[in-house]
């Protein structure tokens, strides 16, 4: 070995010899010739190295994955022999610095450190070794609360930097770097700081990864168990709810807070179509259930249960709406917030069937009643004729019987007309009819009854009344109904005036009929109700009737594109006014705009009108 030798070769040779010494000291006693030889060679090489460095210090650092000599990378750490790597990693040494003048004994002490259980530094100090110094790694220093070591790659000139050379800013940078890395990379960074030994790093990483995995798996398992339990509970609840719903005889529809369909049982599907098609649709948008329940979204939105039942809206009849109101349950969550509702739509098909049967029954019944009544009346009239004329006692009795059969007949006519209207079977043949004639005909047929009750019945026709476009027979019947009411509710000595007039310009296109009486009149609050079916308002005087007369009358007027209005003052009398369209000529009859109540809904107007 000469002075001109490549310094790196000297370094390599020293590393080789020192590694050999590390191995041999484990095998032989310190005075074994092999050991002695290695130490001597090591000492000689160190002397040469010191010379090559002009008396400077010689430092060997293992940092991350490299071995550096005086800050110059020499070899990859994984290429180093284990004995050397273990010395660094076991004592968390980062750099070993050799000052000039290291002896063979100094080297022996360094080699013997590897078997020592305590601190390496203390071991060397105890033996008075001063020419070899150890710098523990940064993390070792931090852990020990000691001043920090020089950066791993510090050149030899800075081999003994001032404590704290690793600045707070550098720590900050590293903390930031770690925080930005993935867990695995961050761990690797930390581990590499803890030990430069690649094998050791690998081992620690494996241990840490296994630990992490184990703990995460345990946490995940715990969480999954909770989710499973919850899922099972929800599934059980659902199965229970579904089986209750399915086994119910009524159709059940569950909607969310916006009225969107969530669930339906087979019975509801049979009425409205399959759930697959309807799910998510708003219950109010379904034409299939137009006549069934419809608990509207607006009602569901209300936070107050009382309000909800009051606001339940149905597109079906009033009776149906009432049923639905009773069959709608509001679903609230644990906080009492409304999250949906369950409605049980009454089977509209069944209800309609029953309604139809009822109508048919009434039509047949009244028809059957009428035939014997006509025969009875005819027989009574014959008997009355044969009884010897007025003045005869029998004649008086017979006349009362005849009047009663007439009354009975008119009640039957009312019911029949009503059931025809209900089933849409009442047909109108509209043509030109002189208003005056219509009024006269109605008055003529009611005169006898008015005079028998001591009521004056007058007819008046104003000038310029245009003929009406009407079914004459039905329009006469309209006036007869109004006159008969007027007779019923006007006391003896009162007057009923039936007239026709052209009306005002504002109502051009109509001719008017009025039936005015000075009878008991109708209270303001009852005036809106009396056109409804089966409504009879208290009038003080007990009179017969069905409460159908005005409902039928109004239906007949509206069906001919006419209007009916009432003005009345209790105690002073009532005036019913009927407006009928003016006849415009054959084929010229305009299609009259239907009155508002008819336009309101698309369903047959007469159903709406009759509250069906």
When asked if residue 598 is in the footprint of ligand ADP (CB under 6 A), the reply is no
Rg of the chain over CA atoms, in angstroms?
56
C-alpha distances out from residue 454 to 151, 451, 487, 514, 521, Å: 130, 5, 9, 21, 18
Work out how close the CB of 397 gets to ligand ADP at its nearest, in angstroms, rounded to a whole number.
27
Cα–Cα distance measured from residue 292 to residue 117, given in angstroms and rounded to the nearest whole number: 90
Residue whose token pair is 């720590």: 171
Binding-site size for ligand ADP (CB under 6 A) equals: 20
The count of residues in the chain is 612
Q: Which CB atom, from 266 or from 545, has the smaller least distance to ligand ADP?
A: 545
255 token code pair: 């909607």
User: Under DSSP, is residue 531 helix (H, G, I), strand (E, B) or coil?
Assistant: coil
Work out how close the CB of 372 gets to ligand ADP at its nearest, in angstroms, rounded to a whole number.
23
Region of 405 please: left (phi>0), alpha (psi -120 to 50) or beta.
alpha
Q: Which CB atom, from 123 or from 512, has the smaller least distance to ligand ADP?
A: 512
Work out how close the CB of 559 gets to ligand ADP at its nearest, in angstroms, rounded to a whole number.
17
Classify each residue of 479-515 as buried b or exposed e, where b means 16 or more C-beta atoms within 10 Å of its C-beta: bbbbbbbbbbbbeeebbbbbbbbbbeeeeeebbbbbb
Q: Which CB atom, from 396 or from 528, has the smaller least distance to ligand ADP?
A: 528
- Restricting to residues 466-525, which ones interact with ligand ADP according to CB under 6 A? 485-486, 489, 517, 519-520, 522
Work out how close the CB of 437 gets to ligand ADP at its nearest, in angstroms, rounded to a whole number.
23
CA atoms within 13 Å, Cβ hemisphere of 280: 2
C-alpha closest to that of 555 among 474, 496, 486: 474
Question: What does 389-402 look like in DSSP terms, one character per residue?
Answer: STT-HHHHHHHHHH
Binding-site string for ligand ADP from residue 547 to residue 576, where x marks contact by CB under 6 A and - marks none: xxxxx----------------------x--
When asked if residue 546 is in the footprint of ligand ADP (CB under 6 A), the reply is yes
User: Under DSSP, is residue 593 helix (H, G, I), strand (E, B) or coil?
Assistant: coil
Q: Which CB atom, from 112 or from 410, has the smaller least distance to ligand ADP?
A: 410
- Between CA 40 and CA 43, with CA 42 as vertex, the angle to 5 degrees is 65
Work out how close the CB of 417 gets to ligand ADP at its nearest, in angstroms, rounded to a whole number.
11
Q: Which CB atom, from 309 or from 536, has the smaller least distance to ligand ADP?
A: 536
Work out how close the CB of 503 gets to ligand ADP at its nearest, in angstroms, rounded to a whole number.
21
Work out how close the CB of 261 gets to ligand ADP at its nearest, in angstroms, rounded to a whole number.
42
Cα–Cα distance measured from residue 540 to residue 526, given in angstroms and rounded to the nearest whole number: 14
Stretch that binds ligand ADP, among 81-89, 393-401, 443-451, 540-548 (CB under 6 A): 540-548
When asked if residue 530 is in the footprint of ligand ADP (CB under 6 A), the reply is yes
The residue within the footprint of ligand ADP, chosen from 34, 317, 495, 536 (CB under 6 A), is 536
The residue within the footprint of ligand ADP, chosen from 72, 153, 321, 535 (CB under 6 A), is 535
Cα–Cα distance measured from residue 148 to residue 168, given in angstroms and rounded to the nearest whole number: 11
Q: Which CB atom, from 479 or from 550, has the smaller least distance to ligand ADP?
A: 550
Cα–Cα distance measured from residue 59 to residue 50, given in angstroms and rounded to the nearest whole number: 11
124: number of Cβ within 10 Å: 21
CA atoms within 13 Å, Cβ hemisphere of 453: 22
Stretch that binds ligand ADP, among 107-115, 203-211, 278-286, 532-540 (CB under 6 A): 532-540
Q: Which CB atom, from 90 or from 420, has the smaller least distance to ligand ADP?
A: 420
Stretch that binds ligand ADP, among 2-10, 16-24, 393-401, 533-541 (CB under 6 A): 533-541
Work out how close the CB of 598 gets to ligand ADP at its nearest, in angstroms, rounded to a whole number.
20
Q: Which CB atom, from 201 or from 485, has the smaller least distance to ligand ADP?
A: 485
Work out how close the CB of 514 gets to ligand ADP at its nearest, in angstroms, rounded to a whole number.
12
Q: How many whole angstroms from its chain centre is CA 357?
A: 41
Please say whether the beta carbons of 581 and 561 come within 8 A.
Answer: yes
Stretch that binds ligand ADP, among 207-215, 240-248, 501-509, 545-553 (CB under 6 A): 545-553
Q: How many helices (H) and strands (E) does the chain have?
A: 22, 16
Q: Which CB atom, from 302 or from 409, has the smaller least distance to ligand ADP?
A: 409
Work out how close the CB of 612 gets to ligand ADP at its nearest, in angstroms, rounded to a whole number.
17
Work out how close the CB of 528 gets to ligand ADP at its nearest, in angstroms, rounded to a whole number.
11
When asked if residue 417 is in the footprint of ligand ADP (CB under 6 A), the reply is no
User: First and final CA of the chain: distance in angstroms?
Assistant: 122
Work out how close the CB of 455 gets to ligand ADP at its nearest, in angstroms, rounded to a whole number.
11
Please say whether the beta carbons of 612 and 422 come within 8 A.
Answer: yes
Q: Which CB atom, from 256 or from 417, has the smaller least distance to ligand ADP?
A: 417
Q: Which CB atom, from 396 or from 571, has the smaller least distance to ligand ADP?
A: 571
Q: Which CB atom, from 332 or from 546, has the smaller least distance to ligand ADP?
A: 546
Q: Which CB atom, from 141 or from 488, has the smaller least distance to ligand ADP?
A: 488
Written in H, E and C, the secondary structure of 404-466 is HHHHHHHHHHHHHHHHHHHHCCCCCCCEEECHHHHHHHHHHHHHHHHHHCCCEEEEEECCCCC
When asked if residue 545 is in the footprint of ligand ADP (CB under 6 A), the reply is yes
Q: Which CB atom, from 243 or from 565, has the smaller least distance to ligand ADP?
A: 565
The residue within the footprint of ligand ADP, chosen from 115, 163, 537, 590 (CB under 6 A), is 537
Work out how close the CB of 536 gets to ligand ADP at its nearest, in angstroms, rounded to a whole number.
3
C-alpha closest to that of 91 among 130, 151, 139: 139
Stretch that binds ligand ADP, among 221-229, 270-278, 401-409, 539-547 (CB under 6 A): 539-547
Site residues (vs ligand ADP, CB under 6 A): 485-486, 489, 517, 519-520, 522, 530, 535-537, 539, 545-551, 574
């Amino acid at each position: 070995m000469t002075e001109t030798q490549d310094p790196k070769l000297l370094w390599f040779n020293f590393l080789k010899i020192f590694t050999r010494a590390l191995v041999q000291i484990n095998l032989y006693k310190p005075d074994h010739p092999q050991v002695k030889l290695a130490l001597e060679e090591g000492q000689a090489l160190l002397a040469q190295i010191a010379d090559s460095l002009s008396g400077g210090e010689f430092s060997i650092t293992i940092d991350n994955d490299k071995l550096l000599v005086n800050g110059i990378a020499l070899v990859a750490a994984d290429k180093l022999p284990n004995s050397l790597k273990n010395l660094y990693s076991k004592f968390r040494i980062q750099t070993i610095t050799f000052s000039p003048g290291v002896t063979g004994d100094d080297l022996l002490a360094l080699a013997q450190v590897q078997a020592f259980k305590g601190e390496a530094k203390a071991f060397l100090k105890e033996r008075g070794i001063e020419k070899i110094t150890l710098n523990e790694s940064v993390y070792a220093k931090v852990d020990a609360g000691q001043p920090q070591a020089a950066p791993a790659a510090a050149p030899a000139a800075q081999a003994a930097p001032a404590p704290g050379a690793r600045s707070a800013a550098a720590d900050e940078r590293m903390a930031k770097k770690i925080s930005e890395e993935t867990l695995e990379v961050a761990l690797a960074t930390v581990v590499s700081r803890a030990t430069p030994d690649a094998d050791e790093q690998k081992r620690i990483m494996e241990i840490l990864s296994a630990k992490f995995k184990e703990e995460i798996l345990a946490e995940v398992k715990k969480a999954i168990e909770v989710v499973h339990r919850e899922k099972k509970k929800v599934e059980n609840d659902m199965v229970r709810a579904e089986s209750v719903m399915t086994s119910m005889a009524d159709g059940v529809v569950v909607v969310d807070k916006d009225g969107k369909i969530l669930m339906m049982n087979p019975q509801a599907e049979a009425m409205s179509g399959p759930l697959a098609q309807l799910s998510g649709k708003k219950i109010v948008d379904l034409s299939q259930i137009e006549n069934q329940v419809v608990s509207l979204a607006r009602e569901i939105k209300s936070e107050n249960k009382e309000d909800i039942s009051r606001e339940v809206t149905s597109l079906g009849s009033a009776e149906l709406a009432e049923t639905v109101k009773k069959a709608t349950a509001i679903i609230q969550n644990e906080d009492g917030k409304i999250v949906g509702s369950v409605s049980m739509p009454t089977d509209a098909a069944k209800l309609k069937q029953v309604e139809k049967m009822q109508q048919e029954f009434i039509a047949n019944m009244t028809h059957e009643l009428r035939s014997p009544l006509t025969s009875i009346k005819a027989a009574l009239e014959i008997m009355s004729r044969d009884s010897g004329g007025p003045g005869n006692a029998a004649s008086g009795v017979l006349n009362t019987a005849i009047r009663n059969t007439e009354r009975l007949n008119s009640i039957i006519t009312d019911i029949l007309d009503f059931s025809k209207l209900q089933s849409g079977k009442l047909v109108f043949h509209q043509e030109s009819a002189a208003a005056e004639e219509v009024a006269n005909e109605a008055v003529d047929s009611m005169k006898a009854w008015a005079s028998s009750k001591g009521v004056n019945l007058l007819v008046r026709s104003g000038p310029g009344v245009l003929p009406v476009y009407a079914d004459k027979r039905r329009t006469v019947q309209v006036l007869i109904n109004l006159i008969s009411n007027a007779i019923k509710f006007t006391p003896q000595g009162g007057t009923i005036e039936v007239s026709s007039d052209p009306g005002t310009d504002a109502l051009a296109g109509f001719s008017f009929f009025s039936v005015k009486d000075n009878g008991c009149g109708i209270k303001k609050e009852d005036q809106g109700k009396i056109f409804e079916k089966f409504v009879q308002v208290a009038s003080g005087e007990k009179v017969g009737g069905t409460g159908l007369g005005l409902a039928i009358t109004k239906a007949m007027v509206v069906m001919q594109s006419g209007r009916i209005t009432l003005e009345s003052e209790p105690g002073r009398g009532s005036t019913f006014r009927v407006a009928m369209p003016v006849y415009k000529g054959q084929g010229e009859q305009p299609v009259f705009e239907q009155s508002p109540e008819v336009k309101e809904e698309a369903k047959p107007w007469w159903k709406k009108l009759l509250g069906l």
